[in-house]
Structure 1
Amino acid sequence: MTSSADVLCDLRGLKCPLPVLKTRRRLKTLHDGDRLIVETTDPLAGIDIPHFCRQEGHELVESEKTADGHRFVIRKGMSATA
């Protein structure tokens, strides 16, 4: 399911606010338009990650509840501040 431009960020086991902080840090290393796949077990990530994307100008391509948490596909925004 991942393409060569997709980057996986496994944040399972981390609690708020670490999933958002580490997602932000990882996105800074990517090029505009690259996709980051984030996996987390933090129940608050279902609220925090979409909110972070809206505020920072990233596109939340996909948000999915998994057996043990959430999986997000985020496209780094062209106008997002790094």
Structure 2
Amino acid sequence: MKKKLTLENLFKILANQKRLEILMAVYDNNQTATEVSKIVGLDISTTYRYLKSLKEAGILNSRIVKGIEMFDFSSEEVYKILQYAINFINKLNAEGRFCENLAACEIESRPIVQISGEPDYVLDMRGEMCPVPGLTTQQVLSELEDGKILLVIVDYPLSAERIPNRVEQLGHELIGRTIDNQGNFYIYIKVKKTNTSE
């Protein structure tokens, strides 16, 4: 008999950084254990154990396709919980993260290779781990006007990989991505509202 999920257990599950990374990898349609393990940087055995525990909790489902187990969210509600939590956190920590141009932001260093032109908006997510930068970027993009350029700055390598993939899935244009000598990633995105799935 399947163990009943409680609110306390749900928050314990979501409090684990690797589980969060795995959930976001699955949400981005990287659904096999092998694909997920490559993204989150864990061995296949550990990744599969995490996936199995998330499935047993009812957060993920799986199906067999051509002999390979594929994982997916059991419900969009789990993703919404993460979105609401991150929106709440961002409201509490909003100061200095989002500004209308580079001059208004306190950025200690700049990319080694510059993308031509200045961005219209800057979202500084340094110090935040996945899934906070990705979900915050998605929220900001939904609020910006068509054609505007958003620069997202992250220092978490997994976010630097996830954000460009998610941006293109949502129909926006990835203009470029670069890194500075301190390991900060600079992701330039052009907002496109037409044919964008929110």
On whether the aligned pair clears a TM of 0.5, the verdict is yes
- Specify the code of the residue in structure 2 equivalent to 1:70: F
Gaps of 5+ in 1: none
Mapped contact 2:153–2:186 kept (Cα < 8 A): yes
Which among 31, 43, 49 is matched to residue 163 of structure 2? 49
CA contact (8 A) 1:33 1:75 kept: yes
Q: Aligned to 2:189, which of 66, 74, 77?
A: 74
The one-character-per-residue Cα deviations of 1:28-53 (angstroms, maximum 9, x if unpaired) are 11011111100011111221011111
Find the structure with the greater CA-based Rg. Answer: 2
Q: Under a length normalisation based on structure 2, what TM-score does the superposition of the two structures give? A: 0.38
Q: How does 1:30-41 map to 2 (within 5 A)?
A: 30-41=144-155
Matches of 1:16 and 1:10, distance apart in 2: 14
Q: 1:81 to 1:32 in 2, by over 3 A?
A: farther
| 2:118 paired with 1:2 | yes
State the identity as a percent: 31
Code of the aligned partner of 1:80: T
Give the deviation of 1:11 after TM superposition. 0.5
Give the TM-score normalised by the residue count of structure 1: 0.87
The Cα shift of 1:15 comes to 0.1
Structure 2: runs of 5 or more not aligned: 1-116
Alignment coverage as a number of residue pairs: 80
Are the aligned partners of 2:154 and 2:160 in contact in 1 as well (CA < 8 Å)?
no
Partner in structure 1 of residue 91 of structure 2: none
CA–CA separation in structure 1 for the residues paired with 2:160 and 2:139: 19
CA contact (8 A) 1:45 1:70 kept: no
Give RMSD over aligned pairs: 1.4
In structure 1, distance between residues paired with 2:123 and 2:130: 16
SS across alignment from 1:23: helix
